[in-house]
């Protein structure tokens, strides 16, 4: 099935996280763009005409079973977002006020924000220079009698060192939001920790527009998550509420998009990785560094990161040329909101944060677009004498 090349006209609505003016009009090559095609449309149309449009139905069952099969999880619960899945995981593990949760110092904000949402303190742990994921030795040194969990983020598609993290004896949440199709020592990402989560936001590799899921092999945790995500209500006892719940359900219509994307899992992950491989093999400038990959990792690229000199100027130049390159997030210790969780300096996260930019990466990105990006990068570097 041919993916829809919708970015030329519609990327301002679907491709990026921020809806700024540049995204709305000027960007010729978006940072990311979902691949929505005929199968997604057919499944959504089927879901609509079936009348199953809210938080239960055949596509939800199919989507949850599909993720469970791919990750080998006993239970998978589809929810409204990756952020909701993280909050659900924390609440199911009983994390609350006074508790600490160790999070990587470089990540999209959700792990820290959800820890704060449940009333606990996110404690930042630096990443390793070898793979840019949370450093297990440093994490060990941050464990206190208040530590209730670790959130390990498979950063930009690179798995964490789960053997070493599981040795710490602290409940583990795997945040695989950016790591569809990656793996660690023979097992897929999304299968690690007491609970693992995915996001299916439109800029993620597998997308439902908005959406997420939480998986576990633990019957009790699964039960608790189902109850919290469904108004604090047991399915077999209607309107009797034992805990304060939420409505975090994914709709059957959204799951229909997901069921179609699951059929295309291998295609969508492989094509995204092919774009990353093109970048690696065609960027010739020695001033450009690529993401380190550990020998034990099966990496699956989300957005291709490059480390470059004069990062902000370089990104500005690419952007003014219509290329939606972006600076990576600030490291969490730089955000005043989370300053109370800084126990140790996080120099690796600060360094990666200051020097790294993402290049546009999406599954159906034409080869000519990658060439345009590489040429623009080479030109911008040459202009600065690198």
What would the x/- binding string for ligand PLP be over residues 207 to 226, using CB under 6 A? -----x--------------
| Residue with the two structure tokens 């774009």 | 275
For residues 107 and 370, which CB has a smaller minimum distance to ligand PLP in the complex? 107
What would the x/- binding string for ligand PLP be over residues 35 to 74, using CB under 6 A? ----------------------------------------
- Report if residue 107 touches ligand PLP, rule: CB under 6 A: yes
Q: Which of 185, 204, 371, 383 is catalytic?
A: 204
Please, what is the minimum distance in Å from the beta carbon of residue 258 to ligand PLP? 12
Dihedral angle at the C-alpha atoms of 209, 245, 103, 336, nearest 10 degrees?
Answer: 90
- Report if residue 83 touches ligand PLP, rule: CB under 6 A: yes
Enclosing H/E stretch for 260: helix 252-263
- Choosing from 99, 100, 174, 175, the residue that interacts with ligand PLP (CB under 6 A) is 175
In angstroms, rounded to a whole number, what is the distance separating the alpha carbons of residues 320 and 326?
Answer: 12
Cα–chain-centroid distance for residue 188? 15
Q: Are 57 and 254 in contact (CB under 8 A)?
A: no
What would the x/- binding string for ligand PLP be over residues 250 to 289, using CB under 6 A? ----------------------------------------
Enclosing H/E stretch for 69: helix 58-71
199 three-class SS: strand
The piece of 61-69, 135-143, 172-180, 329-337 that touches ligand PLP (CB under 6 A) is 172-180
Please, what is the minimum distance in Å from the beta carbon of residue 212 to ligand PLP? 5
Give the Cβ contact number of residue 258 at 10 Å: 27
Burial class (CB in 10 A: 0-12, 13-18, 19+), 237: exposed
Q: Read off the DSSP letter of residue 127.
A: B
Give the distance between the most distant pair of CA atoms in the chain.
70
Please, what is the minimum distance in Å from the beta carbon of residue 95 to ligand PLP? 16
Distances (CA, A) of 195 to 77, 85, 181, 192, 238: 11, 10, 17, 7, 27
The piece of 79-87, 306-314, 340-348, 353-361 that touches ligand PLP (CB under 6 A) is 79-87
- Choosing from 95, 153, 325, 352, the residue that interacts with ligand PLP (CB under 6 A) is 153
What would the x/- binding string for ligand PLP be over residues 179 to 208, using CB under 6 A? --------------------x-x-------
204 catalytic? Reply is yes
Please, what is the minimum distance in Å from the beta carbon of residue 85 to ligand PLP? 8
In angstroms, rounded to a whole number, what is the distance separating the alpha carbons of residues 203 and 212?
Answer: 13
Read off the tokens for 322: 């219509």
For residues 207 and 314, which CB has a smaller minimum distance to ligand PLP in the complex? 207
Q: Are 369 and 275 in contact (CB under 8 A)?
A: no
For residues 107 and 147, which CB has a smaller minimum distance to ligand PLP in the complex? 107
The piece of 21-29, 78-86, 223-231, 237-245 that touches ligand PLP (CB under 6 A) is 78-86
Distances (CA, A) of 370 to 37, 84, 271: 22, 34, 13
Burial class (CB in 10 A: 0-12, 13-18, 19+), 164: middle
- Report if residue 11 touches ligand PLP, rule: CB under 6 A: no
What is the contact surface with ligand PLP in residues (CB under 6 A)? 81-83, 107-108, 110, 153, 175, 177-178, 199, 201, 212
Q: Which residues are catalytic?
A: 204
């Amino acid at each position: 099935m041919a993916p829809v090349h919708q970015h030329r006209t519609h990327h301002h609505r679907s491709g990026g996280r921020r809806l700024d003016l540049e995204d709305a009009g000027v960007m010729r090559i978006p940072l990311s763009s979902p691949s929505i095609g005929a199968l997604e449309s057919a499944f959504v149309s089927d879901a609509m005409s079936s009348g199953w449009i809210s938080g239960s139905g055949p596509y939800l069952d199919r989507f949850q079973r599909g993720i469970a099969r791919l990750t080998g999880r006993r239970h998978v619960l589809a929810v409204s977002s990756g952020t909701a899945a993280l909050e659900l995981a924390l609440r199911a593990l009983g994390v609350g006020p006074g508790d600490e949760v160790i999070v990587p110092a470089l990540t999209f904000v959700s792990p820290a924000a959800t820890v704060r949402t449940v009333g606990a303190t996110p404690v930042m742990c630096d990443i390793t220079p070898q793979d840019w994921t949370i450093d297990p030795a440093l994490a060990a040194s941050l464990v206190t009698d208040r530590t209730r969990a670790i959130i390990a983020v498979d950063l930009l598609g690179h798995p964490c060192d789960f053997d070493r993290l599981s040795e710490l004896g602290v409940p583990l949440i795997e945040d695989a939001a950016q790591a569809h199709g990656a793996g660690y020592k023979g097992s897929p990402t999304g299968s690690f920790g007491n609970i693992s989560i995915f996001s299916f936001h439109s800029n993620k590799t597998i997308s439902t527009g908005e959406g997420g899921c939480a998986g576990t092999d633990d019957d009790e945790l699964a039960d608790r998550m189902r109850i919290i995500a469904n108004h604090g209500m047991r399915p077999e006892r209607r309107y009797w509420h034992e805990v304060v719940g939420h409505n975090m359900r994914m709709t059957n219509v959204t799951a229909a998009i997901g069921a179609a994307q699951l059929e295309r899992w291998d295609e969508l992950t492989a094509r995204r990785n092919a774009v990353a491989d093109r970048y690696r093999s065609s960027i010739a400038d020695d001033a450009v560094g690529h993401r380190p990959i550990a020998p034990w990792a099966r990496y699956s690229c989300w957005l291709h990161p490059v480390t470059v000199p004069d990062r902000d100027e370089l990104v500005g130049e690419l952007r003014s040329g219509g290329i939606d390159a972006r600076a990576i997030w600030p490291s969490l210790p730089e955000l005043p909101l989370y300053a109370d969780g800084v126990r140790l300096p996080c120099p690796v996260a600060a360094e990666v944060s200051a020097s790294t930019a993402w290049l546009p990466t999406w599954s159906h990105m034409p080869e000519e677009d990658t060439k345009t990006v590489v040429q623009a990068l080479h030109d911008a570097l040459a202009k600065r004498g690198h």
